[in-house]
Amino acid sequence: MATQLDEMFVKTRKENRAALIAYLPAGFPSLEGCKDAISTLAESGVDAVEIGFPYSDPVMDGPTIQQAADISLKAGTGATEVFETLNFAHEVGLPAVVMTYWNPIERYGVDRFAKEMARNGGSGVVTPDLTIEESKPWNSATLAAGINRIFVVAPSTTDDRLARVTSQCSGFVYAASLMGVTGARTDLSSGGRDLVARVRKTTDLPIAVGLGVSTRAQAREVAGYADGVIVGSAFIKALLDAKDPQSGLEKLGALARDLVAGVREGR
């Protein structure tokens, strides 16, 4: 059974372009503010959203996402709010996935989390610290719930291991383009291009590239070789730097339109 996300990639492939996927933590800048941001992203032409489950110990994240997660956690964001936000994205018509460190899933209950994802219209879950060696229960839970299981691969992942990881994936493969934590970079290394080429040899799944993309030029470059471009910290920064919610949404919308244009210039 195809998820909304699977269908989106069929469409963007038909249009011969990469998809733009926006990341925001649930509950940031507030529960309602996050929903407003999702509406703005949808109106600006973003193809899908990745909703972060804010976590107390985000070892994969740089200062920007840490700060947003802190704000969200202080406001009391938990699984209930994550699912509420997911449901909202689904209602406005955006394919939506959740990105979460593993412990919140394990704590919630692996099967229960997968079911609740599906019930709220979620397409899948990105799990940045779940290794394939530990994923057996998650594989069966996501299969039963009919949602995508998205693992992250890195430039240091060997070819042999890439094949094993991507064989466990569905929806898309998340290619972390550089060795490091999330956050905007001025220079994108060639790591993304090389990694995507190596991933392609192992799977026909769409490949989305994340880590460091923040500008239209970078989006254009990545869209040239990947099926999806994931942008997080840059959107968060637009909201963090704004003096009030309204101007934050305006800046967010402007950045989104710029990046939407960028991914269309890639090929």
Q: What are the residues binding other proteins (CB under 8 A)? A: 55-62, 66, 70, 73, 78-79, 102-110, 128-131, 133-134, 136-137, 151-158, 161, 165, 176, 179-181
Q: Is 50 a catalytic residue?
A: yes
- Minimum CB separation from other proteins for residue 64, in Å? 13
Three-state SS at 163: helix
Q: Which of 6, 61, 81, 116 is catalytic?
A: 61
Shorter beta-carbon distance to other proteins: residue 104 or 224: 104
- Of 21 and 195, nearer to other proteins (C-beta) is 195
Distance (Å, whole) CA 208 – CA 225: 10
* Amino acid of residue 134: E
| Catalytic member of 36, 47, 50, 116 | 50
**Which residues are registered as beta bridge partners of 23?**
50
CB of 59 to other proteins, least distance (A): 4
Provide, rounded to whole angstroms, the least separation between the CB of residue 140 and other proteins: 10
DSSP 18: P
Judged by beta carbon, residue 41 or residue 86, the one nearer other proteins is: 86
Closest CA to 12 of 202, 257, 226: 226
Does residue 250 carry a catalytic annotation? no
Question: Six-digit token pair at 199?
Answer: 């991933």
* Nearest to other proteins of 88, 151 (CB atom): 151
Q: What gap in Å lies between CA 154 and CA 152, rounded to an integer?
A: 7
Structural contact between residues 125 and 146, judged by C-beta atoms closer than 8 angstroms: no
Residues assigned a catalytic role: 50, 61
